[in-house]
Chains A and B, each alone.
Chain A
Amino acid sequence: QSVLTQPPSVSGAPGQRVTMSCTGTGSNIGAGYDVHWYQQFPGTAPKLLIYANNNRPSGVPDRFSGSKSATSASLAITGVQAEDEADYYCQSYDSSLSGSVFGGGTKLTVL
């Protein structure tokens, strides 16, 4: 069981807005620690997508955005494209574990 909880799958048609959640507890997201998001295609290494809740690294399209509130965070893709079909992972810090923790991942299917 992952410390951060993500829905196993989400889906959306091209052009739609898709969101996925990352739920934590009072020792991680709820404690105010940043949430980061990664995108992973099959057979490749994860790629940083969003850092510190809502910041995009250079080169990441602006259709990707992140938000955080209370004990959860969300990744939104506005105008999802077929090329966005991948696995998405959230990451934060957990004070009770004194280290980084990841969510179980969400598989995005573009219909």
Chain B
Amino acid sequence: QLQLQESGPGLVKASETLSLTCTVSGGSITSSTYYWGWIRQPPGKGLQWIGTIYYSGSTYYTPSLKSRVTISVDTSKNQFSLKLSSVTAADTAIYYCARGVPAVAPYTHFDYWGQGALVTVSS
């Protein structure tokens, strides 16, 4: 059974960089069938797609965050990571990692999700 687990600091200071890692178990991150994505949810609000990565390193980001986001993959560890720079209180959210299928952007849906990691930005 595929499992995804987010890890990283739960508290980040404003203007600094948020860093999270998603560890994938029960399946290979190098499968050609899947994307790997990050989605966030501010407290009490809806879902926002942040970006997606393919095991080869190809990335796709939502335009509103593109200037601050970097998603990377470490195939040797079966992990992918999120970095969000210059954070503000508006970046406080639960951050989910998820598997996207198929690896064809217009058709991708997310079938496996991590439990989520709450990241609070403090002033």
Give me the interface of A with B, judged by CB distance under 8 Å.
2, 33-34, 36, 38, 44-48, 51-52, 57, 89, 91, 93, 95, 97-105
Contacts and interface: CB of A to CB of B under 8 A. Distances in A.
A95 B107 CA distance: 12
B111 A103 contact: no
A47 B47 contact: no
Nearest to B106: A93
Interface in B77-122: 96, 105-111, 113-116
Given A93-B108, A102-B47, 10 more contacts: A34-B109, A46-B39, A46-B47, A48-B109, A48-B111, A91-B47, A95-B106, A98-B63, A99-B49, A99-B61
Interface residues of B, number: 24
Contacts of B26: none
Q: Is the interface of B mostly helix, strand, loop or mixed?
A: strand
Name which of B39, B46, B51 has the most chain A CB atoms within 10 A of its CB.
B46
Contact of B115 (A34, A45, A99): A45
B49 A100 contact: yes
Contact of B111 (A33, A51, A89, A104): A51
